[in-house]
Amino acid sequence: MDTRLNIDEGNCRSILCGFARGNRRWPWQSLHRIAGVIAIFALCATGFANASQQPQKFSSSFQVPRNDLANAEALSNQLAALSPRVDRNEATRLADCAYAIVSQLRRQYRMFGTPIFNNFLIYHGLRKRGYCYQWSEDLLIALDILRLRSLELRWGESNPGNWRENNCLVVTAKGQPFRSGIMLDCWRHLGHLYFGPVASSWEPYVENSAFARDVRHIAAACNVSEHNHRVAFQKRAEASGKTGDR
């Protein structure tokens, strides 16, 4: 059961009036306070975080939301077109599973506002998961259940090592180059799956096979660690490897 804040009308008026007075004297302080009020209303609407930092649990049956059926079919067609050797049924299963999983994650993460604002909520401990790499981790682990034979799931990253870093999955035909694949990005559209040729992205993506291997290895041990990805509004892990500050 979610814990929720109760804010009465009088308190809201007092808070907002206080911001208005402060804005004349301390513009930046007022801006931070306004961001705080937005965060409070976000919590009122969606509740505090109560999910753990571990990968999410998924339903055993994957059902594509009705409004995503056309998109899932389009994704399936693009995957099947990657190579004549791609199994059409496998492409359809992957597409359907991807849309079903992202829909589940969107509810579990309780996305609100914008992707960057959700990073802000996670940074301040008001959400537990929802960074771009966490979307990709959870999707990778879920899609691995399909045991693909004609398609491969690979880890893509742009601007690695700085605050603009973004992560996604890239699906290629078996044995084909990374740049020939289709990217699956869950973060950029607030939990609504984006897909398209990775080579056409305005951000240059490179493969990080070591990170994908680590995610799979740790997931197999049922203990996915928090990795040091410096994305917007994310705290850095301490050198000691402790991750409790995220």
Closest CA to 83 of 184, 152, 168: 152
Please say if the pLDDT value at position 58 is more than 90. Answer: no
Average pLDDT over residues 204-233: 77
- Top pLDDT among 189 and 75 is at 75
pLDDT of residue 190: 81
Residue 148 amino acid letter: L
CA gap 144, 216 in Å, rounded: 9
Contact between 227 and 133 (Cβ < 8 Å)? yes
Please say if the pLDDT value at position 225 is more than 50. Answer: no
pLDDT of residue 57: 52
Question: H/E/C letters for each residue in the chain?
Answer: CCCCCCCCHHHHHHHHHHHHHHHHHCHHHHHHHHHHHHHHHHHHHHCCCCCCCCCCCCCCCCCCCHHHHHHHHHHHHHHHCCCCCCCHHHHHHHHHHHHHHHHHHHHHHCCCCCHHHHHHHHHCCCCCCCCHHHHHHHHHHHHHHHCCCCEEEEEEEECCCCCECEEEEEEEECCCCHHHCEEEECCCCCCCCEEEEHHHCCCCCEECHHHHHHHHHHHHCCCCCCCCCCECCCCCCCCCCCCCCC
Summarised one tens digit per residue, pLDDT across range 60-77 is 456 899 999 999 999 999
Tokens for 216?
A: 């799979």
Please provide the average confidence, as pLDDT, over all residues in the chain. Answer: 76
Residues in Cβ contact with 159 at an 8 Å cutoff, skipping those fewer than 6 apart:
165, 166, 203
Q: What are phi and psi of 72, to 5 degrees?
A: -65, -40
Residues in Cβ contact with 68 at an 8 Å cutoff, skipping those fewer than 6 apart:
99, 103, 193
- Top pLDDT among 128 and 149 is at 149
- pTM over 0.75? The answer is no
Average pLDDT over residues 22-42: 45
pLDDT of residue 138: 95
Please say if the pLDDT value at position 39 is more than 50. Answer: no
Summarised one tens digit per residue, pLDDT across range 90-148 is 999 999 999 999 999 989 988 877 888 988 988 898 888 889 999 999 999 999 999 99
Residues in Cβ contact with 22 at an 8 Å cutoff, skipping those fewer than 6 apart:
29, 30, 33
User: Which class for 144: exposed (0-12), middle (13-18), buried (19 or more C-beta within 10 A)?
Assistant: middle
